[in-house]
C-alpha cells in the first residue's frame, strides 16, 4: 500500500538526510505503485476514462462468438415477433446451464447478459401473460443473482412469479442464493409490519418456496442449509417429513449442536423436533438423551415404554441411572425382566467398578503417605508437613476416603476389631468426618457397606454416631435399594430429634445425599417441619432446606419453595437471618429450579419483594442454577454487571452484598461450563476480576475456575491457579489450592501432583493451607485415578443436575472457608459424593455379563456438517475393555463383530452380536 512504510504523513519519499540503501529501493517501488492508479469502471464493470467508456477488454474468439450469440438472442426477445420467444428463451437457458466456469469466476453467459438486464426487465413487463412470460421470469430469476450486492432480491421476486418444479437444474449456488433471499424477504416484511409502513403480508408464499428447496438441500448433503432455512421461517417442526434413513442422522447431529447457540424457547423446539425424529427411526437411546435434556418426565416414560426389546430397555435404564433419574417400573415390567430394576437402580455399579479395578490391577488399598510422597518434598521441610496432630490426622482421613473411594478396602478405617481405628486420633467434629469416610470407602455398595458402618453406631461417642449416620447416607448416594435402608436408618424420628445437634445434622445431610435427585415424596413429611420450625437453630433448618433442594433438584417443587419463603419472611427468624448458615437455605431454594430456565422468573420476582439481606444473593443463585450449563449470554452479562458494583465496607448490609458478588462469579462458570466458547471468554473475564475485583470477588474466582472444568486439568487453567495459590490473601490461596484438586479430580495428573507437593512444603507452617493441600491431593488421586466429578457425561451431551448441585454446595461452603470447611463443618466436603462417578467404559453382553472387546480410544473430533463419514476420533490407541476415558475422549469399536445398543460408548454399554458378521466370515 502506498505510504505504508513512510509514517503518518503518507509522503512517498523518505527524508533525503537519512536515505539508506534499503529505503531507496522501497521509495522507488512505492512511486511506481502510485503511478499505477486503479482505472474507473461503470456499474457493469466496463473501464471508463474521464467518464467515457474505453474499448472493451480483449475477448478470445470463442468468448466473442458467445457474446455475439447472446446479444442476438437478447435482441430477439426485445423484438415484437412472439413466435421466436420460446426457442430464444430455451437457447439462453441452455447456454447458462451448460456453461462451465471455475469456482471463483462468474459463468460467462451471466457476465455477458448482465448489461442487458434492465432492458430485459422492461421487456418482461410488456409481455402478455402466458407460458412464455413464466419462462422469461424463470430466466430473469437466475440473472437476478448478478445483482445480489444491491438490496433488490430479484432472484426471489421472479422465482415467485414463475413457479417451477425443477429448481435444482439451476445448480447449488442458485439454490443457496434463493434461500438467502427468502430469509431477507421475511425479515423485511416483518420489519415493515412492525414499523406500520405496510399491510401485514402472509409468509405462505415464502414457506411454499422453502418447501421446494429443502428436499434439494438434503439430497445434496447440505443439511445445514435446510435446517437454517426452516429455522429462519420458524418451520423447524416440519423437517421430519423431508427426511429418510440416509439423511436423518446428519440432520439430527447438526440440530443438536445448534441448541447451545439458540435462545429459549427455540432451543426446546429444536430438541423436541430432534426427539421426534429419533423416536420415528427407533433410535431410542439417543431420543432418551434428548428427553433428559428437556427435563420432561412424560417424554422419558414414553421413550422407555416405546420398545419391548429387553436389551434396549436395559441400556436406557443404565443411562437413566447415570443421570440419577428414578422411574417406577410396573409389576408387569418387573415380571418380564427382573434384571431391569437392577439396571435402573444402579445396583450393579460397585461390581462393574471393582471389575475395572481388577483389570487395571489397582485393588490394593493406598495409604495417605502413598499420596503425599513426603520423601519427594524439599529436604528443608521434610517431616514438618507430616506431624501427628489431630488436624493432620483428619486430613489423612479425608485423603484416605477420596483415594480408596468405592474400593471397600483401606488401611485406616476398615480394620479388624482388635486394631485401633483412625477416628480416635482426631478430635470432636474431626471424629464425625473421619467416621463418615467409611461411607466413602464403601460408596454404592449398600449391602456390604451398612454392615461395615453398623459397629460404629453402637459406640458411646456422639460424634462417631453422627459420622455413622452420615456414612449410611453417603453409601446410598446414586444407588437405590428396594428395602430403603437409608430411610429406615436416617428418617427415624429418634435420630432426627436426637439431643445431640451433630447426630441430627448428619441424619438430615445423609438423607439429602442418599436420595439426591430422586424426588422422593416421603422426605417432604420428614424434612419440611424442620425447615418451618422457628424454634430450631438456623443450622438445622438450613441443612433440611439444602437436603430437600438436593432431593428435588430441578423439580420446581412448590411446597418446598413456599416453606423456604415463609422461613425467610418469618418475624421469629429475623435475628437468625444474618446467621452464616442462611446461605444454605437460599441454595436449597435455588437447587429446586436447577435447569428450569425461564420458570425461575416467578421466584426471582417474588424474592425482589422481600426486604432481607439474603434476598439479592438468593436471586443470583436461583438464576445461576436455572441457566446452568446453557451458556446463556444475557445471564453472563447480568452477573458481570453485579461484579462491577462497588460495595461500601462500612454499611451494615454488606455481608449479603459481598455474598451476592461471590455468587455472581460462581454463576459465571456455572452458566458457561457447558459451552466451549463461553468457557474461553469467561476464563478471560476471571483474569480481569482478579486484577480489579474486591477481596470478596477475588476469593471466589479460583473456585469458579475449578468449577468450569472439573476433572479436566487444562494447562492454562491450572497454571493460573498455581499462581493464585501463592497469593498474598490467604483466602484466595486456599481456594486456589482446592480448585487445583477439583480441576484434576480423579485424573492422577502428574504435573498437578508435583505442584501440590511443592505447596505442601511452602505452607508447612500454615495449618489451614496445609489441610487444604492435603484435601486437594486426595481429590487429585480420587478412586486411584478412576473417578470423575464432571457433571457432563455421555459425550458432554447431558449435564447431571445432581452432580452439579453437589459441586455447587461444596463451593458455596468454601466462599467463607474459615467459617465452614476449615473450622468445624469439614463434613460438607462429602457433598462431592453426588458428583463422583467412574470414568470407565464397561461392555456387557445381552445377559449383562462382562465381555472383552477391542476399542479405539482417542480425542473426540467435532464432525458436525462435515461431508461423507469422517473419523470421530483422532490420535487413538487400541485397548481392550474395560477402559478408562479421559475428559474429551471417545471410544469406538474396532470391528463390527458386535453392535452397541448405545450410540455413545461411555459408561456401561450393552453389545449385541452382529448377525451379518458371522455370515460374512
Convert the pLDDT of each residue in 414-471 to its tens digit: 777 655 576 677 777 778 888 888 999 999 988 888 888 888 888 888 888 888 889 9
Res. 9: pLDDT tops 80: no
Average pLDDT value over all residues in the chain: 83
Res. 704: pLDDT tops 90: yes
Cα distance between residue 163 and residue 352, in whole Å: 62
Residue matched to cell numbers 425467610:
568
pTM for this model (two decimals): 0.86
- Nearest-CA neighbor of 820 among 425, 436, 539, 513? 539
CB atoms within 10 A of CB 48: 12
- Out of 54-63, 116-125, 208-217, 279-288, pick the least confident: 54-63
CA atoms within 13 A on the CB side of 283: 18
pLDDT of residue 512: 92
CB atoms within 10 A of CB 737: 31
Cα distance between residue 325 and residue 342, in whole Å: 14
Q: C-alpha distances in angstroms, 576 versus 582, 585, 598, 655?
A: 8, 12, 31, 14
**First-to-last C-alpha distance (Å) of the chain:** 68
Res. 43: pLDDT tops 80: no
Residue matched to cell numbers 435434556:
293
762 SS3 class: helix
Q: How confident is the model at residue 56 (pLDDT cuts 50, 70, 90)?
A: low
pLDDT of residue 4: 42
Radius of gyration from C-alpha coordinates of the chain: 34
Residue matched to cell numbers 427468624:
573
pLDDT, tens digit (0-9, with 9 covering 90-100), for 487-497: 877 777 777 77
- Out of 43-47, 264-268, 518-522, 734-738, pick the least confident: 43-47
522 SS3 class: helix
Q: What is the mean predicted confidence (pLDDT) over 365-385?
A: 72
pLDDT of residue 42: 55
Cα distance between residue 438 and residue 393, in whole Å: 15
Residue matched to cell numbers 435455588:
590
Q: What is the mean predicted confidence (pLDDT) over 753-762?
A: 91
Cα distance between residue 634 and residue 616, in whole Å: 18
563 SS3 class: helix
Cα distance between residue 529 and residue 556, in whole Å: 19
pLDDT of residue 592: 92
pLDDT of residue 908: 92
Cα distance between residue 206 and residue 213, in whole Å: 11
Beta strands in 305-430 (DSSP E): none
What percent of the chain lies above the pLDDT cut of 70? Answer: 88
Cα distance between residue 831 and residue 509, in whole Å: 9
- Out of 191-205, 310-324, 858-872, pick the least confident: 191-205
pLDDT of residue 735: 95
Amino acid at each position: 500500500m502506498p505510504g505504508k512504510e513512510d509514517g503518518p504523513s503518507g509522503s512517498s519519499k523518505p527524508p533525503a538526510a537519512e536515505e539508506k540503501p534499503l529505503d531507496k529501493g522501497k521509495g522507488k517501488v512505492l512511486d511506481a505503485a502510485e503511478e499505477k492508479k486503479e482505472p474507473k469502471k461503470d456499474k457493469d464493470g466496463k473501464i471508463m476514462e474521464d467518464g467515457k467508456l474505453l474499448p472493451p477488454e480483449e475477448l478470445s474468439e470463442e468468448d466473442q462468438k458467445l457474446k455475439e450469440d447472446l446479444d442476438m438472442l437478447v435482441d430477439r426477445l426485445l423484438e415484437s415477433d412472439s413466435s421466436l420467444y420460446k426457442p430464444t428463451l430455451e437457447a439462453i437457458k441452455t447456454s447458462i446451464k451448460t456453461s462451465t466456469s471455475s469456482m471463483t469466476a462468474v459463468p460467462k453467459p451471466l457476465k455477458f447478459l448482465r448489461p442487458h438486464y434492465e432492458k430485459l426487465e422492461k421487456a418482461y413487463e410488456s409481455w402478455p401473460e402466458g407460458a412464455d412470460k413464466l419462462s422469461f421470469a424463470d430466466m430473469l430469476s437466475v440473472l437476478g443473482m448478478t445483482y445480489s450486492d444491491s438490496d433488490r432480491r430479484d432472484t426471489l421476486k421472479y422465482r415467485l412469479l414463475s413457479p417451477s418444479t425443477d429448481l435444482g437444474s439451476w445448480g447449488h449456488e442458485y439454490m443457496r442464493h434463493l434461500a438467502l433471499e427468502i430469509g431477507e424477504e421475511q425479515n423485511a416484511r416483518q420489519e415493515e409490519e412492525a414499523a406500520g409502513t405496510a399491510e401485514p403480508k402472509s409468509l405462505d408464499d415464502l414457506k411454499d418456496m422453502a418447501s421446494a428447496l429443502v428436499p434439494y438441500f438434503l439430497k445434496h448433503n447440505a443439511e445445514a442449509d435446510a435446517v437454517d432455512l426452516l429455522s429462519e421461517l420458524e418451520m423447524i417442526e416440519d423437517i421430519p417429513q423431508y427426511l429418510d434413513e440416509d439423511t436423518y442422522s446428519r440432520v439430527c447431529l447438526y440440530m443438536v449442536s445448534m441448541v447451545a447457540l439458540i435462545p429459549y424457547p427455540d432451543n426446546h423446539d429444536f430438541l423436541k423436533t430432534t426427539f421426534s425424529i429419533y423416536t420415528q427411526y427407533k433410535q431410542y437411546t439417543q431420543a432418551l438423551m434428548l428427553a433428559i435434556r428437556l427435563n420432561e418426565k412424560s417424554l422419558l416414560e414414553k421413550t422407555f415404554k416405546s420398545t419391548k426389546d429387553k436389551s434396549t430397555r436395559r441400556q436406557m435404564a443404565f443411562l437413566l441411572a447415570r443421570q440419577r433419574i428414578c422411574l417406577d417400573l410396573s409389576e408387569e415390567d418387573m415380571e418380564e425382566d427382573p434384571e431391569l430394576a437392577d439396571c435402573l437402580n444402579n445396583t450393579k455399579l460397585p461390581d462393574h467398578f471393582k471389575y475395572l479395578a481388577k483389570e487395571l490391577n489397582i485393588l490394593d488399598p493406598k495409604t495417605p503417605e502413598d499420596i503425599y510422597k513426603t520423601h519427594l518434598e524439599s529436604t528443608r521441610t521434610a517431616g514438618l508437613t507430616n506431624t501427628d496432630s489431630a488436624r493432620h490426622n483428619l486430613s489423612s482421613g479425608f485423603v484416605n476416603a477420596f483415594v480408596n473411594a468405592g474400593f471397600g478396602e483401606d488401611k485406616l478405617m476398615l480394620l479388624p476389631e482388635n486394631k485401633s481405628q483412625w477416628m480416635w486420633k482426631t478430635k470432636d467434629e474431626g471424629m464425625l468426618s473421619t467416621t463418615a469416610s467409611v461411607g466413602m470407602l464403601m460408596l454404592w455398595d449398600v449391602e456390604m457397606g451398612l454392615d461395615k458402618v453398623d459397629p460404629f453406631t453402637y459406640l458411646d461417642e456422639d460424634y462417631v454416631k453422627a459420622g455413622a449416620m452420615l456414612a449410611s447416607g453417603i453409601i446410598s448416594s446414586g444407588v437405590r435399594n428396594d428395602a430403603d435402608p437409608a430411610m429406615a436408618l436416617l428418617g427415624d424420628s429418634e435420630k432426627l430429634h436426637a439431643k445431640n445437634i451433630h447426630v441430627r445434622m448428619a441424619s438430615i445431610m445423609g438423607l439429602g445425599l442418599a436420595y439426591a435427585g430422586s424426588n422422593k415424596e416421603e422426605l417432604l413429611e420428614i424434612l419440611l417441619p424442620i425447615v418451618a420450625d422457628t424454634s430450631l437453630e438456623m443450622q438445622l433448618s438450613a441443612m433440611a432446606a439444602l437436603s430437600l433442594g438436593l432431593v428435588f433438584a430441578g423439580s420446581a417443587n412448590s411446597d418446598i419453595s413456599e416453606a423456604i419463603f415463609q422461613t425467610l419472611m418469618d418475624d421469629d427468624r429475623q435475628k437468625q437471618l444474618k446467621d452464616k448458615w442462611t446461605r444454605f437455605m437460599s441454595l436449597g431454594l435455588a437447587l429446586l429450579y436447577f435447569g428450569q430456565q425461564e420458570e425461575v422468573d416467578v421466584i426471582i420476582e417474588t424474592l425482589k419483594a422481600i426486604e432481607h439481606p439474603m434476598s439479592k444473593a438468593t436471586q443470583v443463585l436461583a438464576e445461576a442454577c436455572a441457566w446452568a450449563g446453557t451458556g446463556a449470554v444475557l445471564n453472563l452479562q447480568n452477573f458481570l454487571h453485579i461484579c462491577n458494583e462497588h460495595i461500601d465496607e462500612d454499611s451494615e448490609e454488606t455481608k449479603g452484598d459481598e455474598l451476592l458478588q461471590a455468587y455472581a462469579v460462581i454463576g459465571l462458570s456455572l452458566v458457561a461450563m457447558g459451552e466451549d466458547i463461553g468457557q474461553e471468554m469467561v476464563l478471560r473475564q476471571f483474569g480481569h476480576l482478579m486484577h480489579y475485583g474486591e477481596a470478596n470477588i477475588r476469593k471466589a474466582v479460583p473456585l469458579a475456575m475449578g468449577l468450569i472444568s472439573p476433572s479436566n486439568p487444562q494447562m492454562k487453567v491450572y497454571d493460573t491457579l498455581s499462581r493464585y495459590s501463592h497469593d498474598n490473601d490467604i483466602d484466595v490461596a486456599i481456594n486456589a489450592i482446592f480448585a487445583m484438586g477439583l480441576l484434576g479430580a480423579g485424573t492422577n495428573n502428574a504435573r498437578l501432583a508435583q505442584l501440590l507437593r511443592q505447596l505442601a512444603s511452602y505452607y508447612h507452617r500454615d495449618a489451614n493451607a496445609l489441610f487444604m493441600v492435603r484435601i486437594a491431593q486426595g481429590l487429585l488421586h480420587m478412586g486411584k485415578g478412576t473417578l470423575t466429578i464432571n457433571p457432563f457425561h455421555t459425550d458432554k451431551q447431558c449435564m447431571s443436575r445432581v452432580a452439579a448441585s453437589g459441586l455447587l454446595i461444596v463451593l458455596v461452603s468454601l466462599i467463607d472457608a474459615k467459617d465452614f470447611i476449615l473450622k468445624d463443618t469439614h463434613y460438607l466436603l462429602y457433598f462431592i459424593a453426588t458428583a463422583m462417578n467412574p470414568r470407565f467404559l464397561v461392555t456387557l453382553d445381552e445377559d449383562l455379563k462382562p465381555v472383552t472387546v477391542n476399542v479405539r480410544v482417542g480425542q473426540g473430533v467435532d464432525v458436525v456438517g462435515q461431508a461423507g463419514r469422517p473419523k470421530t476420533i483422532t490420535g487413538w490407541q487400541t485397548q481392550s475393555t474395560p477402559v478408562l476415558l479421559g475428559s474429551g475422549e471417545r471410544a469406538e469399536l474396532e470391528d463390527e463383530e458386535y453392535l452397541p445398543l448405545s450410540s455413545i460408548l461411555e459408561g456401561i454399554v450393552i453389545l449385541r452380536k452382529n448377525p451379518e458378521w458371522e455370515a460374512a466370515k
